[in-house]
């Protein structure tokens, strides 16, 4: 890399431009990788949940985490822990897919703890009870973020 030891966008913000595989692992510069989710895309909560679910269903939990992380960064304070917890669940699923059962279990438990307080409110139709139960199973099957209610 010339100029800066870190990848930067046009505004000078740090961005990692290294290609990644389907589970978000970095590949050498110049290697073909899976297209990354763009950062900082403004989405409604419904759009964030739909896009994250599509990515989970496509076997791309790392990419779903990126969408949920954007939602977490822009959410109102009262919902930050919900979105943070959802992002952590996606990272837990990523670790599980990478074969890191210990890391997966830790992140799934942390994500479940962060979304648990929203069980009664179910913001944006998030199936908190179902996700908490799923997180306890440590199964590689992608969860349903909402139950359509």
Residues 11-24 have pLDDT tens digits of 665 556 787 877 77
Residue 3's pLDDT band, with cuts at 50, 70 and 90, is very low
* Per-residue pLDDT at 35 exceeds 70: yes
Mean pLDDT across the chain? 87
Tokens 């990354």 correspond to what residue?
36
| Dist CA 70 CA 52 (whole Å) | 11
The model's pTM: 0.82
Q: How many residues does the chain have?
A: 149
The residue that leads in pLDDT, 13 or 109, is 109
Per the CB < 8 A criterion, the answer to whether 39 and 15 are in contact is: yes
| pLDDT recorded at residue 1 | 42
pLDDT at 15: 58
Compute how many other C-beta atoms are within 10 angstroms of the C-beta atom of residue 141: 10
Q: How far apart are alpha carbons 56 and 64 in whole angstroms?
A: 6
- Say what the pLDDT of residue 100 is: 92
């Amino acid at each position: 890399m010339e100029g800066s030891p870190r990848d930067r966008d046009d505004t000078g913000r740090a961005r990692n431009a290294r290609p990644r595989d389907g589970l978000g692992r970095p590949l050498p510069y110049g290697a073909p990788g899976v297209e990354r989710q763009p950062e900082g895309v403004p989405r409604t909560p419904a759009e964030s949940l739909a896009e994250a679910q599509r990515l989970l269903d496509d076997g791309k939990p790392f990419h779903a985490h990126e969408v949920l992380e954007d939602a977490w960064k822009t959410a109102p304070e009262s919902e930050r822990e919900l979105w943070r917890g959802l992002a952590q669940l996606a990272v837990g699923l990523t670790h599980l897919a990478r074969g890191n059962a210990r890391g997966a279990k830790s992140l799934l438990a942390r994500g479940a703890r962060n979304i648990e307080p929203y069980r009664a409110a179910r913001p944006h139709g998030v199936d908190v009870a179902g996700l908490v139960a799923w997180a306890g199973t440590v199964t590689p099957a992608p969860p349903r973020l909402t139950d359509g209610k």
